[in-house]
Structure 1
Amino acid sequence: MADSVRVDVWLWAVRVYKTRSLATAACKAGHVRVNGERAKPAQTVRIGDEVIARTDRDHILGVRALLLKRVGAPVAREAVDDRTPPPPPRTEAPAPILRDRGAGRPTKRERRDLERLRSR
């Protein structure tokens, strides 16, 4: 078995990115770091390395096993030590203020009432 794997192949195999070309593009764009250093697509990862990959947020992943092919989700989970902190809780936004359709522009009084409501 190999003692190292390309970082773009590993990220694709453990299902961080949907395609290998997306993983390669993320590496080229600087969204992937291996042990704190910016990674090129062909950089190798070894067991015990820390990979930080940015998708919708930063994923902090430890390399437990080296994979050359994309595998099922249960096997992929075993190959990764996921140290990503949980996302912050969502805050509830107030319901948008809607006007009746065809009501036209608000009058000065209605506009002031709307601004008063929005500022709360």
Structure 2
Amino acid sequence: MRIDKYLWCVRYYKTRNIATEACKKGHITVNGQAAKASREVFATDKITLRKDQITYKLTVLDVPPNRVGAKLVDIYRKDETPAEAFEHLELLKLSKDYYRAKGTGRPTKKDRRDIDDFHYYDEDDNIDNNTETTNESEV
């Protein structure tokens, strides 16, 4: 089976075209050698692929007849990706989860709602204080 079809069958890529493009870009190696999309895959081959800033390491256990369900993927491959790779991805997600610097650009919708909530409470406090002072002066 072709490497692009195999990676599509075991659900590493959503379409064969995306898998083929990854091969063309050199993101996939088989047994340490860069693989073209037409490269044949056999049992015991070791595949390394780079996807979403993670380097996956797989061992082919068997070749599926066609695309398999997510629960059956482990029959056809053994995932040897180190856990540190996934932890590194989590750190990257957290580092990207920053907020824009204050004073740069227009307020977002969330900023506007926060500002409105803040002003709403301030106005209530002032109204309550004014009514109390007028009641005290009348007495």
Query: Could you tell me the TM-score, scaled by structure 1's length?
Result: 0.71
Name the residue aligned to 1:69: 66
How do 1:83-94 and structure 2 match up within 5 A?
Answer: 83-86=80-83, 87=86, 88=88, 90=91
Q: Secondary structure at the match of 2:71?
A: helix
User: Partner amino acid for 1:98?
Assistant: K
Extract structure 1 runs of 4+ deviating beyond 6 A.
none
Q: Secondary structure at the match of 1:90?
A: helix
User: Partner amino acid for 2:15?
Assistant: T
- Show structure 1 runs of 5+ residues with no match: 103-120
* Structure (1 or 2) with the larger CA radius of gyration: 2
Corresponding position: 1:19 with 2:15: yes
Aligned with residue 9 of structure 1, among 1, 5, 13? 5
Corresponding position: 1:32 with 2:36: no
Report the structure, 1 or 2, having the larger helix content: 2
Name the residue aligned to 2:45: 49
Aligned with residue 56 of structure 2, among 56, 59, 63? 59
User: Partner amino acid for 2:56?
Assistant: H
- Show structure 2 runs of 5+ residues with no match: 107-139
Aligned with residue 102 of structure 2, among 91, 95, 98? 98
| Distance in 1 (alpha carbons) for counterparts of 2:65 and 2:36 | 17
1:23/1:68 Cα in 2 relative to 1: closer, same or farther (>3 Å)?
Answer: farther
For CA contacts below 8 A with separation 6 or more, give which structure has more relative contact order.
1
Report the structure, 1 or 2, having the larger strand content: 1
Q: Is the Cα–Cα contact under 8 Å of residues 10 and 68 in structure 1 kept in the other structure? A: no
Deviations 1:27-70 (A, max 9, x none): 11111100000000010111000001111111101001102411
Name the residue aligned to 2:135: none
| Distance in 1 (alpha carbons) for counterparts of 2:76 and 2:13 | 15
Report how far residue 95 of structure 1 moved.
6.7
